[in-house]
Each structure stands twice: as C-alpha cells, then as structure tokens.
A and B are shown apart, each in its own frame.
Chain A
Amino acid sequence: MNEVLIILGLILVVVIGYSIIFICNFLKEMSLFEKSPYAFALGVGAVAFEMFLYSIFKIPWNPAYLLTPIVLIVIAAFKMMPKIRFKHKLFTNWSLIEKVILVLILLLIFFVAFEAQLRPVSAWDGWAIWLLKAKMFYIDGFVNPAVYKLLKEGYPFVINLSVAFLYTLLGKVDDRSVLLLFFCFYLFTSILFYTQVKKRTGNLFALVFTFLLISTQNLVRHGGRFEAGYADLALGFYFFVSLSLFLRFLKSWSNRDLIILSVILGITGLIKEEGISYILLISLFLVYSILKSKKYKMIPLSFIYLIPIGIWQMFKLYFGPFPGLYNSFVPHLNRTISIIYFILKEMINFQNWNLLWILFFIAFFTFNLSKKYFYIYCLIFFQLFIYSCVFLISPYPPNVHIPNVMDRLLLHLAPISVFVTALVLYKPLKILLRNINAKIKI
C-alpha cells in the first residue's frame, strides 16, 4: 500500500512540474514524453522549496496545507494546457535491432525498479545523511537547524525535503518505498538522455548509447541496487538537465529557455554542494554568450538561480555555522600524482564503468576538433579539476579518500560524458559504416 501512495506522490511531483511548464509556457514544441524529465526536475525542486518556505514561515507540514497551493497550480495549468495529441505511429517504423535494444532498456529499468523496492535503505550515506535528515525533519515538522549541528554537515535541502514531502503524504516513515524517488532519477536520466541524443543523431544511435549508459553498473546500483539513497545520481541528472537546457538556449536565445535554465541551475546548487562549481561555470558561459551577442537585457534572467541558493546561504548564515569536513584550505601539493593515479584507477574500474571512461578519452583525444563541444568538455574537465582540488585540501590522504568517493563523483559526470561521446562519435561512425556498406556492395 505504501508503495502505491509513494508512486502517487511521485506522479504528483511530475504533475506539478508539468503544471509549471504549462503555466510559464516553457519548452513549447516538446512532446509530453520529452518534457517529462524537465517536469520531474522542476517538480522535485518545487516541493522541496515549498517545504522549506513553510518551515521558515512556520506553516505546519500537513498534507492539506501542502496540497492546497499545488492543487491551485494544477487547476490553473489544466486550463492553459494545450490539446494533447497521441501519436499512433509509435514503434511502427522501428527496425528489429531498435526493438531489441528497447526491450533491453526496459528490462534494465524494470530490474532497477525491482531492486529499489527489494530492501529498505542500506547505503551508508542514505541512512547517515539523506534519509536520516529527511526522517528528522519529518518527525520535527520543520527544517530543524540543530540537525545540521548534530550530524556535523551542511548539505543543502532538496533531496531531504522531497523525501520528507513523500513521508508527509504517506503519513509515516517508510525507507523502502521512498527509494522509488531515487529510481525516478535513473528513469528520467534514461528518458532525457534518449530524447537528447535522438534529436542530434537518430533513433538507433540514441537507443544504443542510452542502453550503454543505463547498463553501467554504477548507475544501476545508485538507481536501486544497494546504493539507492545517495544523492549523486540525482546530481548527475540535474547536471544533464542543466546542460541540455543550456545547449537549447544557445540555439533559441529565448527568455523562457533562459528562465527555466536558471531555475534548474538553482535547484542543482541545492542538491549537493558539488553542484555549485558546475552552475558557476555554466553561469559564466551564459554571461559570456549574452555579452557577446549584446543581449544585455537577458543578464538579470541568467542570475535567477541566485535566489534559491541565496535563501539557503542566508539560512546557513543565520543558524550556522554548520560544521564541515574542510576546515582547512591549505593544499597538499605533494598529493598531486597520487590524486591523478587514483582518479584514473577509478576510471578504468571495469566493474563500475564498463568501458565508459576509456571510450570517452579516446573520443576526446581523437575527434575533439569541433568547437561545438567545447562547452561540454570544459564543464567535465573543470568539474574533475575541482574534485582534484578538494582532494588536495582533504583531511584524509588520497589513498583513503579517493577510492571511497570517486565512483560517486564520476557518476555526476557520467550522463554528460556519454552524451558528448555519442555526439563526437556519431559522424565518424556513420562515415565508417557507409564506407563498409559501399565496399560490401562492390
């Protein structure tokens, strides 16, 4: 029964996201299917922010109070919603290979959903950070600042409060059913990846790379098997949502695309602190592109993300300081070689990544001639650089710290990395296949 209620709660989260999209007229030409990852991303942020604001204004977290504004938004969106046309041509033009890969993808998704429901939370960070704070906030009925001091960390609130939102709808804590939220990050990463690659290449190529990405064992584990409860897949999902919107904005130059991008950046910064460097670089690219094209009126819109992040920072300043791991910022430069060694060691960890990072680097060094992918590679390598800098100042030596966390840090970048690899390899592979076909015919 709890699972059904949590599924209904998650559907509600997606409906909230759709409602925001319809009301603000975002992503106009996209189909409902293409919009679904954005709806989920916005919905998760919206419910978490609603919980946070209720806590600040001392409004009790009960379902009636929480659902009232949501119902009003959904009703308003329903009136603005365009007529939905269902395409009956689904799968009709698909080749046998495409159908087989689709079946493989669906098998994986089914397996991960099954795994997510098999066990209550068992991952360390799940019960020591994310679901622990969600449970504490739910029991306390507000974002209790004492919790951050007790747990000696100051991670932001989106994951905790979206879990607390589901607990509030359920009326109790159920740390097995709620893992479906983490499965949803896996599901919507798959959908977003497929739609984005399909748009730029074709159906077969998109299906192949979607299958390659979501069959990566590390994603499978974080989506449902054992490591469900960590926020890293969620951050990887938001990184990819932000990137797709950023690339969209660079094509459309529309205010609406800029607003939704900035809102998503704001949510990304509140998933985990590792997201801050990523959104700052995207923001820098945004400002640079806007200044270059002399559309100065767009500049304020590109900083909307500062509002949610600013509110969180003010909360931390007012109730803090919350203790953190990195109290000293003195870099240990003698660690550089071992940091590179341990990062590379994780990248070639076949058990976690199959051949993901090997193909990523080969594609980068061989075909990175196009300026088109400059931004994406910059984001990936900048983020890797930031993580390396963190290891330089870490209180733990690299041989202890990196093997413990690197698989999760790389998970943030995995969807983007497979995405750019797919785009870079598309043309050369197409030419190669065409040449082979021509030789066979001769």
Chain B
Amino acid sequence: MKNYKRYWIVFCTLILAAWFFVSFFRTFYNFSKVYTEERQWMFLSDDEKRSKTFGDIYNFLEFIGENTKTHDSILFFFSNKKYFAGTGYLSTYFLYPRQIYFSQFKKDTISIINSKKFDYIVLYWTNNDNSEVQNYFKENSSKLKTVNIYESKNTKGGVFKYE
C-alpha cells in the first residue's frame, strides 16, 4: 500500500470513529428530548397540539369551520402579509372543501367584497397592527351582517355575510 494512502486510511478511520461517537451521543440526546422537550406535548389533544404548532390562526380557522358550511365559498381578508405567510395553504388544508379566496386586504380589494360572489366574508387582524382591514371593519360594520366575532389575546376577526 502506498504511504500516502495509509495516512488517508488512518484519517478516514478517525473520521469514522468521530462520526460514530457523535451518533452514539446524539442517540441518547434524542432520547433525553422525550423528557425535556416532548413531555409537554404528550398529554395534549391533537387540537391543542395544532394550536401550539400553528398559533392563533389555527383557532381562528376552527372558528371559521364552525360558522360556515362545508361547501361555502369564503373571501378571507387578513391584515398584514408578514404575519400570515403560508396561511392560505393552511386555511385550505383545514377548511377544504370550502373554497377559500385568501388575500391581504387593500383599498382596491374592496371591489371584490362588493362583487358579492362569496357566501361569507372573513376578516382577521392582529391588535397591534393598525391596518386597513381593521378600519374597513369599523367603517362598514353596519353593512355587514355579523355571523360571529372571534377575539383572542392578540387578534380579532369575524365571519360576515352581505347585508
């Protein structure tokens, strides 16, 4: 065997040994997580786990589900894009077969509300976010028939119908 190769083999053996020891300790570290990290999950219901994973939006989607029928079409306006990345897919996942039109609320989107193509209008905003959707709700609450209002510590929203 060439000399340089012998050194490489020794080097490989050392890396292999290092990899093995890391894996060995990680296996037990993973197991320790059952006690340290996972203990808090074990005794929760699936709904509580989803709420813990996805945050308040999951509770709000459940709320929409309870206040609409399975084949309704829903216009879902939220306040601020940065808080709701991916929520479009999440709302489709939890509310299907309801048809969800999911969009950030802007002034030019009011025309979609006025088109009255949807069975319900859903508005949702965070309390610390002084947004257009909140202002729209304040200004037009008389024009919308409230089906139900949702309130949590940091968010507010509701399911509405056209008056």
Residues of A within 8 A of B (CB): 104, 107-108, 111, 114-115, 118-120, 122, 124, 127-128, 131-132, 135-136, 139-140, 150-151, 176, 208, 211-212, 215-217, 220, 354-356, 358-359, 362-363, 366-367, 425, 428-429, 431-432
Which secondary structure dominates where chain B touches chain A?
Answer: helix
In the bound complex, CA of A373 to CA of B18 (Å): 25
* Contact of A111 with B22 in the complex, beta carbons under 8 Å: no
B88-125 near A? 1/0 per residue, CB < 8 Å: 01101100110000000000000000000000000000
In the bound complex, CA of A135 to CA of B93 (Å): 8
Known: A358-B15, A362-B12. A108 touches B27 (CB 8 A): yes
Expressed in whole angstroms, the minimum distance between the Cβ of B95 and any Cβ of chain A is 11
- Output the nearest chain A residue to B11 by Cβ-Cβ distance: A362
Known: A366-B12, A429-B12, A432-B9. A136 touches B96 (CB 8 A): yes
Q: Which residues on B sit within 8 Å (CB–CB) of A211?
A: 20, 23
* Contact of B50 with A120 in the complex, beta carbons under 8 Å: yes
Expressed in whole angstroms, the minimum distance between the Cβ of B12 and any Cβ of chain A is 6
**Count of chain A to chain B residue pairs whose CB atoms are closer than 8 Å in the complex:** 101
Q: Which residues on A sit within 8 Å (CB–CB) of B19?
A: 212, 354-356, 359
Known: A108-B27, A127-B90, A215-B27. A135 touches B15 (CB 8 A): no
In the bound complex, CA of A282 to CA of B11 (Å): 33
Q: Which residues on B sit within 8 Å (CB–CB) of A358?
A: 15
- Output the nearest chain B residue to A214 by Cβ-Cβ distance: B23
Q: Which residues on A sit within 8 Å (CB–CB) of B93?
A: 127-128, 131-132, 135
In the bound complex, CA of A303 to CA of B29 (Å): 47
Q: Which residues on B sit within 8 Å (CB–CB) of A432?
A: 6, 9-10, 13
- Output the nearest chain A residue to B7 by Cβ-Cβ distance: A366
Contact with A363, one of B12, B18, B23 (Cβ below 8 angstroms): B12
- A sample of 11 more A-B contacts (CB under 8 A), given A108-B30, A355-B15, A362-B8, is A111-B31, A118-B41, A120-B53, A127-B93, A211-B20, A216-B23, A363-B12, A366-B8, A367-B8, A425-B16, A432-B9
* Contact of A114 with B34 in the complex, beta carbons under 8 Å: yes
Known: A104-B24, A363-B12. A431 touches B1 (CB 8 A): yes
- Output the nearest chain A residue to B24 by Cβ-Cβ distance: A104
Q: Which residues on A sit within 8 Å (CB–CB) of B92?
A: 132, 150-151
In the bound complex, CA of A104 to CA of B10 (Å): 25
- Output the nearest chain B residue to A100 by Cβ-Cβ distance: B24
Expressed in whole angstroms, the minimum distance between the Cβ of A158 and any Cβ of chain B is 20
* Contact of B22 with A355 in the complex, beta carbons under 8 Å: yes
Contact with B20, one of A136, A176, A208 (Cβ below 8 angstroms): A208
* Contact of B49 with A215 in the complex, beta carbons under 8 Å: no
Q: Which residues on A sit within 8 Å (CB–CB) of B30?
A: 108, 111, 220
In the bound complex, CA of A428 to CA of B15 (Å): 14
Known: A127-B89, A128-B86, A208-B20. A107 touches B1 (CB 8 A): no
Q: Which residues on B sit within 8 Å (CB–CB) of A127?
A: 89-90, 93
Q: Which residues on A sit within 8 Å (CB–CB) of B11?
A: 362
Q: Which residues on A sit within 8 Å (CB–CB) of B9?
A: 366, 428-429, 431-432
- Output the nearest chain A residue to B1 by Cβ-Cβ distance: A431
- Output the nearest chain B residue to A226 by Cβ-Cβ distance: B53
Residue B42 at the chain A interface, CB threshold 8 Å: yes
B138-163 near A? 1/0 per residue, CB < 8 Å: 00000000000000000000000000
Expressed in whole angstroms, the minimum distance between the Cβ of A183 and any Cβ of chain B is 15
Expressed in whole angstroms, the minimum distance between the Cβ of B31 and any Cβ of chain A is 6
The list of the 4 closest CB pairs from A to B, nearest first, reads A215-B23, A128-B89, A355-B19, A366-B8
In the bound complex, CA of A223 to CA of B45 (Å): 22
Q: Which residues on A sit within 8 Å (CB–CB) of B54?
A: 122
* Contact of A122 with B53 in the complex, beta carbons under 8 Å: yes
Q: Which residues on B sit within 8 Å (CB–CB) of A136?
A: 96-97
- Output the nearest chain A residue to B29 by Cβ-Cβ distance: A217
* Contact of B13 with A429 in the complex, beta carbons under 8 Å: yes
In the bound complex, CA of A362 to CA of B13 (Å): 11
Residue B5 at the chain A interface, CB threshold 8 Å: yes
Known: A135-B96, A140-B97, A150-B92. A425 touches B1 (CB 8 A): no
In the bound complex, CA of A355 to CA of B12 (Å): 11
B38-60 near A? 1/0 per residue, CB < 8 Å: 10011000100110011000000
In the bound complex, CA of A111 to CA of B35 (Å): 12
Residue B26 at the chain A interface, CB threshold 8 Å: yes
